[in-house]
């Protein structure tokens, strides 16, 4: 008898891959319930499926793979206690989020007339994603400060208070857990420089919505991709207050989705001994390399650079779509046309240095 796998229907590049080895049932993430899991051996999910006691206690599931960088939708303590193995896809969309952060930053700065030369970029959370954001910032001439709870990281880290006081731009790339929930609070925001930029592209629950609204006037730019209460209960007041607002699509690149699915399938293959899929990778489209321009320079040139980034990733189109119909949050995510990531050249002559 074939083993049974239940998979989120919206995971791309997955249909047909496991069928030679398993009976696969595809469902929308929120429709994966205890009844359908009861006789399943494995789950392949995204963030919309909460995996814990309520879903799996009466099932025979032995393995859960999520095709996402985050695992806060997995009750890992309970899974471990129940003897259920699990895995995420760390770093799968890190380059996509890097692209989002810099595209959003330069787009918003151009729209509001903020000169980015000589600025300090603070990255809170210097793991897979944050480190890529930081490295591109350095290539573009920013002074970059990093903070992370993981002191074992190779990056040079500074205390959070120091980063907040020194940075003109603060970008958050944290996992959601008991420590980080509500971290962007009155206390944290009061330490940021007046006129600074705040970017949250990790998890909405890392921020206190009321605190963001109270301190909004101290920020020159507010960029939000993630929200408390998503998909249906996001704050309309915060949506109106943000300079760029998007429906949790920062990591939604073609390459990121390919890698997330590949990592999930390979994990399932290793767990169940499906040798032909242990090195699985979806067939991907071969595209020309998209390189960043290397000398934007002046504010006018920064605006041109922003337009170049938007040619690759038209971020304001999705911003307008969300503002026009906040209730379509989940539909916008589901129907989002995956953009392609850009390639970062290794030789960049610090185009945003103070002198131009």
Q: Which residues, other chains included, contact 259 with Cβ-Cβ below 8 Å and sequence gap of 6+? A: 89, 91, 92, 93
Is residue 248 annotated as part of the catalytic site, yes or no? yes
Query: Residue 197: phi, psi to the nearest 5?
Result: -110, 135
Nearest Cα neighbor of 333 from 46, 120, 35, 40 is 46
* Residue 313 and residue 336 in contact, taking contact as beta carbons nearer than 8 Å: no
| Catalytic residue of the set 46, 73, 248, 339 | 248
The one catalytic residue in 48, 203, 266, 333 is: 203
Assess whether 15 carries a catalytic annotation: no
- For the question of residue 203 being annotated catalytic, the response is yes
Phi-psi category of residue 20: left, alpha or beta, with phi > 0 → left and psi -120 to 50 → alpha: alpha
Q: Which helix (H) or strand (E) holds 129?
A: helix 128-139
Structure tokens at 174: 């944290």
User: 315, 109 in Cβ contact below 8 A?
Assistant: no
CA atoms within 13 A on the CB side of 275: 0
Residue 89 contacts residue 256 (beta carbons within 8 Å): no
Structure tokens at 279: 């090195």
The catalytic site residues sit at 203, 230, 248
């Amino acid at each position: 008898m074939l083993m049974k796998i239940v998979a989120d229907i919206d995971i791309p590049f997955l249909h047909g891959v496991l069928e030679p080895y398993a009976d696969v049932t595809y469902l929308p993430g929120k429709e994966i319930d205890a009844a359908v899991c009861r006789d399943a051996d494995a789950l392949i999910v995204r963030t919309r499926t909460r995996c814990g006691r309520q879903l799996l206690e009466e099932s025979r599931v032995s393995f859960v793979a999520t095709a996402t960088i985050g695992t806060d939708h997995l009750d890992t303590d309970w899974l471990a206690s129940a003897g259920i193995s699990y895995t995420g896809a760390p770093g799968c969309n890190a380059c996509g989020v890097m692209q989002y952060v810099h595209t959003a930053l330069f787009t918003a700065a151009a729209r509001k007339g903020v000169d980015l030369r000589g600025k300090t970029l603070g990255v809170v959370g210097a793991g897979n994603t944050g480190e890529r954001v930081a490295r591109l910032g350095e290539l573009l001439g920013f002074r970059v400060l990093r903070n992370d709870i993981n002191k074992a990281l190779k990056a040079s880290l500074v205390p959070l208070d120091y980063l907040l006081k020194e940075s003109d731009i603060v970008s958050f790339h944290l996992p959601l857990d008991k420590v980080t929930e509500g971290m962007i609070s009155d206390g944290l925001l009061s330490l940021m420089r007046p006129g600074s930029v705040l970017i949250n592209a990790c998890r909405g629950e890392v921020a206190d919505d009321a605190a963001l609204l109270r301190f909004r006037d101290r920020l020159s730019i507010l960029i939000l991709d993630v929200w408390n209460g998503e998909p249906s209960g996001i704050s309309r007041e915060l949506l109106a207050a943000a300079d760029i607002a998007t429906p949790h699509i920062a990591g939604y690149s073609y390459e990121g989705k390919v890698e997330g699915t590949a990592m999930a399938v390979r994990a399932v293959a290793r767990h169940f001994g499906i040798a032909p899929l242990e090195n699985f990778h979806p067939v991907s489209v071969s595209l020309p390399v998209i390189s960043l321009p290397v000398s934007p320079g002046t504010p006018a040139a920064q605006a041109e650079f922003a337009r170049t980034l938007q040619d690759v990733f038209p971020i304001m189109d999705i911003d307008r779509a969300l503002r026009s119909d906040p209730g379509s949050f989940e539909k916008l995510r589901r129907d989002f046309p995956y953009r392609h990531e850009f390639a970062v050249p290794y030789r960049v002559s610090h185009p945003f240095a103070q002198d131009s």
